[in-house]
Every structure is written in structure tokens, then in C-alpha cells.
Amino acid sequence: MRDHYQEQLDGLASGLADMCDQVAAALEMATQALLERGLQLAEQVISDDVKIDELRVGVEDGAFALLALQAPVATDLRIVVSAIHGATDIERMGDLALHVAQATRRRHPEPVLPEEVRPYFAEMGRVGVLLARKAGDVIRTRNLAAAAELETDDDAMDDLHRHMFTVLMDRNWQHGVAAAVDITLLARFYERYADHAVAVARRIVYVVTGRMPGPLAV
């Protein structure tokens, strides 16, 4: 019985890590679609979002089954509760990648991004994918040092997000209101994606230490 119980707990972590892999791939494809006006890539991100939703349901069902049938305590209870919250965070990351892809589809065949902001979004995409993959590694290893690294990586995303406002407020901006709105929303999607990745890492710190390190993304 104990072996089966441990397998169920391990299955929660595996499911969350798989979700991180999925949302990393989603943001990578969505960013490429955004930069290259890739309608086919955007459509793939949109259609694949259901797979992320299904993984979330699987994790949550497993967690609730453990709560109902095993009455976990101490570290095991923290694992189960964190899995429920973590699945929500990661599923939201998938939704944010979906929003990026939808922006590409909505504007196609026109580009969403003016040329001068493309390098910033390329970098935001790179940082976001890195954060998601690191979050998956933290789930698999429970490495607290790696979890702390996500905070530093998130600072880079925050800097890029703030810089977008500098670009948009420049008096030489010549691309109109619609482009400014698109860029504002897209930058926010990337910034929130990163926040949710950090929230996942913080939940692993809570599992290992029993203490929640700072406020979580919502």
C-alpha cells in the first residue's frame, strides 16, 4: 500500500513537471509565431491548449483522490495542496501563451510588432521559456537553490516589461494606438507568465521547508 501511495505522490510531481514542459513549448511556439507572423504555429498553440487543460485536470483529480482516500499529513499534505495550486499556476501560463498566439492570428497577415520592439519580445520569450523549464526542473529535483534562481530570472522579465512603457511613451512613437495597445497587453502576458513560474517554484520551497517565501502571483 505504501509503495502505491508514494507512486501517487510522485505522479503529482511528474504531472506538474510535464505541464511545465508543455507551457514552455507553447510560449516558445507562440513567440516564434509572433515574431514571424506564423499563422500555422499560432494555430498549433491554440489547438494544443486543451492538452494543458487535460493535464491540469489529471493532476487535480489525483490530488483530490489522495486527500479523500489517504488523508496525507505533514510534507505529504503540502505536496498535495501545492500540486493543486501549482496546476492552476501552470495552466494559467498556458493560457497566457495562448493569448500571445491569438494576437498573431487576430492581426494576420499584418505583423503585430513594429520592428523596434521585436528584439525585446524575442528576449521576453526566451526568458519565459527558461523560467518554465527551470520550474519543471525544480519540481523534479526540489532543488531550493534552483528555485531561488527563478527570482533573478524574473527580475530580467520585469525589466523588459518596464522598458516597454519607455518605448511606448517616447514622443517619436509613430505606430498608433492599436499597436500600442497590442504591445502593452502582450508585454503584460509575458510578465504574468513569468510571475506564475516563480509562484510554482515558491510552492516547491514550501513543500521542502514548510514555509512560503513571499507573496505569490495570482
This prediction's pTM: 0.94
pLDDT at 216 over 80: no
Three-state DSSP class for residue 39: helix
pLDDT at 43 over 50: yes
**Residue ranges of the domains in the chain?**
2-209
Percent of the chain with pLDDT over 90: 88
Q: Which three cell numbers stand for residue 170?
A: 517616447
Pairwise CA distance, residues 205 & 144, whole Å: 6
Percent of the chain with pLDDT over 70: 97
Residue 210 identity: G
Instruction: Give the number of other Cβ atoms within 10 Å of residue 212's Cβ.
Output: 13
The CATH superfamily holding the domain 2-209 is: Phosphate transport system protein phou homolog 2; domain 2 (1.20.58.220)
Residue 2 identity: R
Question: pLDDT tens digits, residue range 118-159?
Answer: 999 999 999 999 999 999 999 999 999 999 999 999 999 999
Contact status, residue 33 vs residue 45, Cβ threshold 8 Å: yes
Pairwise CA distance, residues 10 & 79, whole Å: 9
Instruction: Give the number of other Cβ atoms within 10 Å of residue 170's Cβ.
Output: 10
Three-state DSSP class for residue 111: coil
Confidence of residue 172 (pLDDT cuts 50, 70, 90): confident
Pairwise CA distance, residues 14 & 9, whole Å: 9
